[in-house]
Structure 1
Amino acid sequence: MLFLGLNKPAVWSKPLRMMSRRLVSTTKTSTTEQQQVLIAQRKNRPVSPHLTIYQPQLTWYLSSLHRVTGVVLGLGFFVATISFGVSTAFGLGLNSNNLAKWYHEKVPTWMDWTAKATGAYFLTFHFANGIRHLIWDAGKALTLKGVYSTGYAVLAFMAIAGTAMLTW
Structure 2
Amino acid sequence: MFSQKVAQQSLRRLAVQQPAAMRWSMMRASPVAVALGKNVQTRPVTSSPNTEDPTQILAKQRLNRPVAPHLAIYKPQIGWVASSLHRITGVALSGSLYLWATAYLVSPALGWHLESASMVAAFGALPLVAKVLLKATMALPFTFHCMNGVRHLMWDLGRGLTNPTIIKSGWTVVGLSVASALTLAFI
| Bin of the TM-score, shorter chain as denominator length | 0.5 to 0.7
Distance 1:74 1:48, change over 3 A: farther
What is residue 19 of structure 1 aligned with on the other side?
none
Gaps of 5+ in 1: 1-21, 27-33, 42-46
What is residue 99 of structure 1 aligned with on the other side?
119
What is residue 80 of structure 1 aligned with on the other side?
100
Distance 1:92 1:49, change over 3 A: same
Q: What amino acid does structure 1 have at the position aligned with 2:155?
A: W
Contact 2:133 2:185 in 1 (8 A): no
Give the stretch that moved more between structures: 91-100 or 75-84. 91-100
The separation in 2 between residues aligned to 1:155 and 1:51, in whole angstroms, is 22
Deviations 1:103-140 (A, max 9, x none): 444x5654433221111111111100000011011111
Match of 1:146 among 165, 168, 180: 165
Q: What amino acid does structure 1 have at the position aligned with 2:159?
A: K
What is residue 157 of structure 1 aligned with on the other side?
176
Contact 2:90 2:145 in 1 (8 A): yes
What is residue 143 of structure 2 aligned with on the other side?
124
Q: What amino acid does structure 2 have at the position aligned with 1:68?
A: I
User: What value does the CA root-mean-square deviation take over the aligned residues?
Assistant: 3.4
The separation in 2 between residues aligned to 1:88 and 1:48, in whole angstroms, is 53
What is residue 16 of structure 1 aligned with on the other side?
none
- The TM-score, its normalising length taken from structure 1, stands at 0.63
The separation in 2 between residues aligned to 1:52 and 1:153, in whole angstroms, is 25
Spell out the pairing of 1:57-68 with structure 2 (5 A cutoff). 57-68=77-88
What is residue 115 of structure 1 aligned with on the other side?
134
Deviations 1:10-51 (A, max 9, x none): xxxxxxxxxxxx9x866xxxxxxx9xxx9xx9xxxxx97423
- Shift of the alpha carbon at 1:88? 5.0
The separation in 1 between residues aligned to 2:112 and 2:71, in whole angstroms, is 49
Distance 1:167 1:48, change over 3 A: farther
Spell out the pairing of 1:16-55 with structure 2 (5 A cutoff). 49-55=69-75
The separation in 2 between residues aligned to 1:138 and 1:113, in whole angstroms, is 37
Gaps of 5+ in 2: 1-49
Distance 1:25 1:126, change over 3 A: closer
The residue matched to 1:164 in structure 2 has which SS? helix
What is residue 29 of structure 1 aligned with on the other side?
none
The residue matched to 1:99 in structure 2 has which SS? helix
The share of aligned pairs that are identical, in percent, is 35
Distance 1:89 1:135, change over 3 A: farther
The separation in 1 between residues aligned to 2:99 and 2:110, in whole angstroms, is 16
- Shift of the alpha carbon at 1:161? 1.1
- The TM-score, its normalising length taken from structure 2, stands at 0.57
